Each structure stands twice: as structure tokens, then as C-alpha cells.
Structure 1
């Protein structure tokens, strides 16, 4: 079998390369305390898109640092009883997508909440206000500022706030709130379940934002990770701050948040993935202590994985 990373036996044992900040747990405990002080102030605005089976709303809620976050919210009409909810997270630079591609879950009696990441392709606000570069990427945004200013810290907290909004909706069956997404969406799925452990099930497809130093050492700081190379070239050309930089990125490294997940996990990975290398994903998966299962596609990379959507849906549908 062709190989772009470690042999599978080594991947199953790999524990990551990126350094973990000594105060990692205190960092996220402080972040969650900040989130708890933010009243969501949820607003639902009926969308122009409606169907006989689904009520569709533009949802707005407050995130940290004064940002108003947008999500698409679809719920079954006239169900008459609390029902499950699925949180959907999109890929890097994208948005919540079309209304119509969420109707399969609604037809099964599930509500859907699909978040727009702040500062990317949707309607969520990006309130900015960081020192240092904002060029070419959200991973490095805030890297020259206090760690609390890292943009992905705020985005991770937005996912947890969305989950809390879902739990508070009267139509939600709070015992069946789920999360899923691919690439950045897979990363945000892990972040959401780590920061809101009431998420019962989560399905992450080739998650992004794991083990940054491993990406760098594999010479794969390109495509979605190009900003790591750009940061070094313009802001640390001699790599005098390399250890400091990767340690600070450790605060937003999903391999370390993965230990907080309590819901049941399904993860899908392609062993030929040169965008989010398999070892980086295994670094997160191997640290999970919750019930988990891994689906491996030996010949696939960062692309459509055959039957992946079916596997995710079946996983979320089964009790």
C-alpha cells in the first residue's frame, strides 16, 4: 500500500509531537468561565426558504468578545414532542451551506443547527482586535498577542455556545444532541464535544487543527496549513521563536482537548491525506478515553470518502 505517513501500526500508537502548554487545562477552564458570563440572547428570523416539512430560521446568538454569531436552524414542523438535534460545522473558509442539504435530517425528525464560523464565509461577526499579523489564516491570528486572543479559541467557544443554545430550546430532546463535520468541521465537532461534554454522539471526518508541529515536520505546511509557513517567513525567518510558537498553538490543538470528550465518537480518516496528515488525526483519536470507533480509508486523502455520509447518519440515528 502507498504511504505518505507512518505505518498503520505506528499510527495506532502515536501520541503527537506538538508541545502542550503547562497551563492548558487552566486556560480552557478560564475560557469556559468567560463563556458562561455571556448571555446568548438568541434571535430567530424566519428564512425565505421554507418547506412543508421544515421550519427554517436564521439564528443569531452572542459569542465571546462581543461577536454576534449566525447559524441556520431547521426544525421539523408539527412534531409535537422533543426531538434530537444535530450540530453541523463547515470546512475552513466556508459557511453553513444551503438549506436544502440539511433536510435529510429534518425528514427523520431531527433539528439541525449549522454554524457560520466567525470571520469566514458566512454571516457571523468577526470583532477582531488582536495584535500582530492577520495575514492568510485564522490559525495564526492572535499568535503575537496573549493566548486568550487566539481566534480559534473564540471559534471553539462559539461551538460550545451553539450547543448550549440547542440544549435550551424547548423542542430539543436533551439526551440526544449530536455534532458532526469534516476537516475544519471535524475539528470543531471535537472542540464542541470537548467543551460541552453533554454532546452524546459526535462524528468527525478527517479533522483539521491537530498536531501543528507534526504538520510542519512533514513539510505539509501548505494548503489549509499554509499560514504556518507564511508566519515563519515573515515574522520569524530564523525560527528563533519556533518552540514558543508551537507551544502557543498547543492551546488550540485538538489532540489535547480530545481528552475532555465524553460522548461516543465516530472518526473517519484517509491514510493518503496530505492536507490533514493521518498522524495528526491519530494524535487526537489516541488520546480519547470515551467510547470510540475509527473508520480507515487506506487509499483516500482529503476528499469525498465513499459512503461516509451514510456511515455518519447511521451512527447518529442508532440509539
Structure 2
């Protein structure tokens, strides 16, 4: 057996313990989701002029996790303009990123999908952040409220992602039985979180996802979790409170809630979202799933993987059907 196969086998066998009682976690999220069930999304649409004349582009705004107006681009290709119900991809951004310009999503539009590309609150896009904090936090965003689960940035951005799916499902042009969530890095983590917490999700593409096995990432990652490590360095007595908050959003603990088919990718040289973190989550997902390994890639998504994502969603959204329980159980047996 050569070294690459040996590494693959080690990763497939990597199953760290959950970091929170699953029943307690499920009850927590049921309470949170119920508390938001009756809160209006207050969706607003405003036409945006673009050089692409075969699509309609709108700036679509909805109320996120704490009534922060979350801005997104909602783009409908020609088929939707003619009255057809379309599959929709809800796209989340990487850390510090933004939704950008409509041209970024040309491939999805050419495939006949509606696109809802959503900002991450407070980061590089147009969306602000109304979340308040009664204590300080270090530079960046993710350490805001990190010792208080209910008032943490992680809860706010998670509920933004969940409500983005609800918003997409309300649009006249969208077939609500065919909604996919797509993203890379932070966006990949948010895609998995949305699938774990919103039953409207029909398929997931989560490239090099963050928010996986977060206690491991806290010690080893070179990206956003370094902000929380810096916070704990300043306040070491708050370590347990921080770990408790992170556990509520760690996909290691939420993976088994995912019912939709999932495509993930991982770069084995990634120092941001390390293979151990991604495999720890992948190994716990019980729905139909696929993980593409890139042994010589870092924190990046290749054109090859983008093609794989297109092919995966074409199959997953073809009939608008989630995999049956029998299919999931058969996969587990294999």
C-alpha cells in the first residue's frame, strides 16, 4: 500500500467523539428554530442593472438571525422569466468575502438554475451586523459573543444561512423541492449547517468546509479560528465557555441531522480547513455522500472540482427527491 492510500485509510477511520450531548444539542436547535418560525423574513426585491440581458438580477434583502437586513443577489435566467419553476442554488461566501457581481454565477445560470448569492454579515459585502455584544472581542468577527451561545456571531450567521433557504423557497420562480446550498470554506460550513437545520435543502456542495471539528481547528487552523485562539490567550479562564459555544455550531455534532445528498472536497495540504476536520464530519454524515480528495491541494477549489459540483447537482436535483431512508441504510451497510 502506497502512502496516499495509507493516508486515505487513516482519514476514513478518523472518528473523534462528539463534543456535546446530541439530545441536548437537538433540543437546543429545535428551540431556536421554533423561536424563528413566526418571525417575518420581510423580503424586499430591487432590480439591478447588469450587462447580461438574458437574466433578471435583483438585490434581494431579508431579515437574518437578529433582524439584520441580509443582502443577496437573486438572479433568474430566461427559463424562469418565461414562467418555469427552476432549481435554485443558494450560495454562501468564504470568510471576509462578498457576493460580488452577477457575472460570477454565469455557469449556474447557463445550466438553468436560479441563483441566490448571500452576503455574510459584517464581512466584505454590503451587509452590516446589528448583533450587539456586552463584552469585547478580538479583531475579525467570529469571537463576537463567543462565551454566550445565544448572542454569538456563530448563531447569528447560522440563522442567516437557514433563513436564506427559506427566502429562496418563497420566490415565485423557484421550485422549492429543488434547492441546493453551495459554498467553500466558511461558505461550505454554512452550507452544511443550513442542511442540518433546514429541511428544505435538497442537496449540498460543501468545498473545503469550515466549522468542522472545531476544537481541533482551534488548536491547528491558520485562519478564522486563530481569532478565537487569540481571545482565549487573552482570557484563558473562559476556555470552557468558548468550547461550549463552539460545540453548538460544530458540524461534528450536527452531521447526523443532514438528510440531503452531500458532495464535499478536501485538500490534504490545507492548513485552514485541515483534512482531519473535514473527514471527522464526513464520516458522521448518514445521507448519500461523496468526498473528493485532492492530496496535493491546499485551501482552494479547482476547476475540476467545480465541474464535479455541476455534475453532482445535475443528478441530485434532477427529480427534486431526497434519498430514501432505504437508500441511506443501504449505504451505511456498505
Deviations 1:179-208 (A, max 9, x none): 111000100110111111221111110101
1:311: which partner in 2? 308
Q: Give yes or no for contact 2:43–2:60 (8 Å, CA) kept in 1.
A: yes
CA distance in 2, matches of 1:128, 1:171: 32
The SS at the match of 2:66 is helix
How much has 1:70 moved relative to structure 2?
Answer: 0.6
Counterpart selection for 1:85 from 88, 102, 108: 88
1:138: which partner in 2? 141
Counting only pairs closer than 5 Å after superposition, residues 1-319 of structure 1 correspond to structure 2 as 7-16=7-16, 19-20=19-20, 23-77=24-78, 78-144=81-147, 146-217=148-219, 220-236=220-236, 240-318=237-315, 319=318
The structure in which a higher percent of residues are helix is 2
Q: Give yes or no for contact 2:208–2:300 (8 Å, CA) kept in 1.
A: no
2:331: which partner in 1? none
Deviations 1:12-67 (A, max 9, x none): 12223662256211221111112212101111000122522110000011123221
How much has 1:245 moved relative to structure 2?
Answer: 2.3
The SS at the match of 1:309 is helix
Deviations 1:184-236 (A, max 9, x none): 0100110111111221111110101111221244xx24333211321122121
CA distance in 1, matches of 2:47, 2:186: 28
CA distance in 2, matches of 1:148, 1:14: 31
The SS at the match of 1:44 is strand
Structure 1 residues 306 and 43: CA distance shift in structure 2, 3 A: closer
Structure 1: state its 5+ residue gaps: none
Deviations 1:139-188 (A, max 9, x none): 322123x3111111111111111111111212111221111110001001
Per mean C-alpha deviation after superposition, the further-off stretch among 131-140 and 84-93 is 131-140
CA distance in 2, matches of 1:151, 1:34: 18
**TM-score normalised by the chain length of structure 1:** 0.91
Per mean C-alpha deviation after superposition, the further-off stretch among 133-142 and 18-27 is 18-27
Deviations 1:227-261 (A, max 9, x none): 1321122121xxx4433421221011122222111
Per mean C-alpha deviation after superposition, the further-off stretch among 73-82 and 202-211 is 73-82
Structure 2: state its 5+ residue gaps: 319-334
Q: Give yes or no for contact 1:152–1:252 (8 Å, CA) kept in 2.
A: yes
CA distance in 2, matches of 1:193, 1:143: 23
Per mean C-alpha deviation after superposition, the further-off stretch among 208-217 and 274-283 is 208-217
Count matched residues: 311
Q: Give yes or no for contact 1:35–1:63 (8 Å, CA) kept in 2.
A: no
Name the structure, 1 or 2, with higher relative contact order (CA <8 Å, separation 6+).
1
In angstroms, what is the RMSD of aligned CA positions?
1.9
Q: Give yes or no for contact 1:265–1:293 (8 Å, CA) kept in 2.
A: yes
CA distance in 1, matches of 2:177, 2:243: 38
Q: Give yes or no for contact 2:142–2:224 (8 Å, CA) kept in 1.
A: no
